[in-house]
Chains A and B, each alone.
Chain A
């Protein structure tokens, strides 16, 4: 088990817990409060369709956060997180439409199922590193759509036709539309889960998780139980992405095997890298990218949408080599240096 010592030994590199840090944190808190305030107003500024898109952005952001915990913080690669997303979506769809469970109870269930599957998946991951692990997760992403069509499971999954999911209605006492309700519901889930992730990363376990990423041998030498942390990280990561999938089913009001193709996993990975590995707010930028850039590319040229997408991706990587989060950090540092001069 983890010894008491890693608390002090594995503080995130480059960050000290001295007084100036506290000052910066409070500035960060103000930014957070501002962002949440804007997020609360948005559904009343835009019409239903845009609110729906913003909900999807948050959902993708949450899914990318799950992947980030695994890849960005723990250094394990996954090219198959679309499978966990799909699993979470199906848990919600089956519970709601087959068993009549209210939608809000399906979220913890989706998270729990994905956590268990994630931990089980993490076991073979212990023996595999880097690219080999990526290949195994890739297999999961390829297998899921076919498993969903598999005959014996069809009574549950609805086969190729999928399952139509009822849109959650706002409680009667709130004078808002179903779109707005789902937006706020997603926002609350998102904030809770982001707070959880922020706490996890800052905790002793979080430092152990990052230590394994930075130097596995040194981490083991310090007494960190690497296999335990790696499997648990896999489980927590799957849990986050699974809850995102459950919300995704509510937003799209439909699940089908074709909703969770291999491309979804790739898009999560793209969102993660462009948003910023190892950054929590960066995940939301990743969500924005995943949802909007294909639309932008299509608006530029439908015939060359794929090429335009590639060009935009290259530009983003050139302008922000360390992702949106890294870019923001650099810009912040640059501005504060200017101010102090």
Chain B
């Protein structure tokens, strides 16, 4: 039944009197409510990211997300509304992110921001978004701080955060090498410390006795050779390598050189075969374990997979110039799919409040390129959408998944 209130009739009266015949008939639903940027035919979504600047290699995430929205529009949109995706370049500079985000919200009047990339850039608008109560959905960074439903209820992350990953490594160590001597290599900044905290918290009261060395490096260091030597000298038999690609590769090579063969855990941030393992030496990389949450498009395992097949046809049609070996294109389309799911759940109640409510109300949602068994779940107290990963071991040629899906949720 339609709910006609006295106010609705009063509000409709002038429209019926003056423009009634011009009004297009629309199926009446229970609660049709629109926030800024929404009409019967359109939903405006804002976004900023590094199309230029030092992180422009991440721009495929943005472009493939835009391609995904275009596909949704070609299929008729969401409940008849087309997505108008407005994305600006911030060059990975925080002040420009602030300026462009304010433009999106105050001038373009978007309903919300989704899929912004970069930790410093998203940090710059973090307070602004929460102060103005505009959803900042599915930020493209793995910092743990985005999972803060109490302090920042208008911001939600997406990918597994670094602390969750660290906890998963700790769980793996406790299961396979209880009592081992653990050495951790981490980058000496918030990103590296996030990983370290995850491992320490995950080991719990065993952390004190099991972690023998915490070796850090600066991004300005030429090599991490001396750290690796010290890890071996301390007698570590478990090596948690959370370095970014270049240093991860150095660590693998040096360990092989000095014939140190610990249980080697490589973090998700540096586990690309092409960027890390090949330069380090495929033979030297044998036996390393790592974690994944998306299907690696270069992995032949997925050649006949339905999800991968869909992704290839999507890329061919909507982003033909895109690089199909770039994981960024997998991230972008999966992230955009999550945004679309939120909008579908919103129905006709397209207010900022409801968008945030539905973003925190995802249950067992999956996308074609998430690894089988990994689902997206959120709740009003859980703002970490993807928190499951699959462990894999390198066999000298490619990563071989093993074991079951692991969860390392914080809190």
Partner-B contacts on A (CB < 8 A): 47-50, 52-53, 56, 146, 149-151, 154, 159-162, 164, 248, 251-259, 261, 263-264, 291, 294, 298, 302-303, 305-306
Contact = CB atoms under 8 A, between A and B. Distances in A.
A134 B99 CA distance: 30
Contacts of B138: none
Contacts of B189: 149, 154, 159-160
Contacts of A291: 99
Given A253-B127, A298-B89, A49 B94 contact: no
Nearest to A50: B107
Contact of B190 (A160, A261, A263): A160
B89 A248 contact: no
Contact of B119 (A47, A161, A252, A302): A161
Nearest to B98: A252
B88 interface: yes
Contacts of A53: 99
A49 B104 CA distance: 9
Nearest 5 pairs between A and B by C-beta? A49-B106, A254-B124, A256-B120, A252-B95, A259-B94
B353 interface: no
Contact of B94 (A47, A252, A294): A252
A258 B118 CA distance: 11
10 contacts: A47-B106, A56-B95, A56-B99, A161-B190, A252-B124, A254-B95, A254-B123, A254-B124, A256-B124, A305-B52
A49 B107 contact: yes
Given A149-B189, A159-B189, A160-B119, A254 B98 contact: yes
A133 B307 CA distance: 58
Given A259-B93, A305-B51, A160 B191 contact: yes
B264 to A, nearest CB: 26
A263 B93 contact: yes
Contacts of A306: 52
B126 interface: yes
Interface string B127-142: 1100000000000000
Interface in B86-133: 87-89, 91-96, 98-99, 102-103, 105-107, 118-121, 123-124, 126-128
Nearest to B106: A49
Given A159-B190, A256-B124, A263 B119 contact: no
B92 to A, nearest CB: 6
A146 B124 contact: no
Contact of B123 (A161, A248, A251, A264): A161
A44 to B, nearest CB: 16
Contacts of A150: 218
B102 A49 contact: yes
A18 to B, nearest CB: 46
Given A254-B123, A258-B93, A263-B93, A146 B52 contact: no
B106 A259 contact: no
Contacts of A161: 119-120, 123, 190
A162 B188 contact: no
Given A48-B106, A254-B95, 18 more contacts: A49-B106, A52-B102, A151-B218, A154-B189, A159-B190, A160-B120, A161-B120, A253-B98, A253-B124, A255-B94, A258-B54, A259-B124, A264-B93, A291-B99, A298-B88, A302-B51, A305-B89, A306-B52
A188 B191 CA distance: 40
A48 B102 CA distance: 9
B220 interface: yes
Nearest to B95: A252
B93 A164 contact: no
A162 B106 contact: no
Interface string B70-88: 0000000000000000011
A146 B218 CA distance: 10
Contacts of B99: 52-53, 56, 291
Contact of B120 (A47, A56, A258): A258
A62 to B, nearest CB: 15
Nearest to A306: B52
A69 to B, nearest CB: 23
A259 B103 CA distance: 19
A49 B128 CA distance: 13
A49 to B, nearest CB: 4
Given A254-B123, A305-B51, A146 B220 contact: yes
Contacts of A251: 95
Interface string B18-61: 00000000000000000000000000000000011110000000
Nearest to B127: A164
Nearest to A59: B95
Contacts of B107: 47, 49-50
A164 B52 contact: no
A113 B189 CA distance: 26
Contacts of B123: 161-162, 164, 254, 256
Given A305-B51, A306-B52, A162 B124 contact: yes
Contact of A253 (B91, B93, B103, B128): B128
B3 to A, nearest CB: 35
B124 A261 contact: no
Contacts of A162: 94, 120, 123-124
Contacts of B218: 149-151
B167 to A, nearest CB: 21
Contacts of A48: 102, 106
A64 to B, nearest CB: 16
Contact of A261 (B54, B102, B106, B127): B54
A3 to B, nearest CB: 46
Interface string B247-265: 0000000000000000000
Nearest to A163: B123
Contacts of B87: 302
A20 to B, nearest CB: 44
A252 B102 CA distance: 11
B152 to A, nearest CB: 11
Nearest to B126: A164
Nearest to B62: A302
Contacts of B126: 164
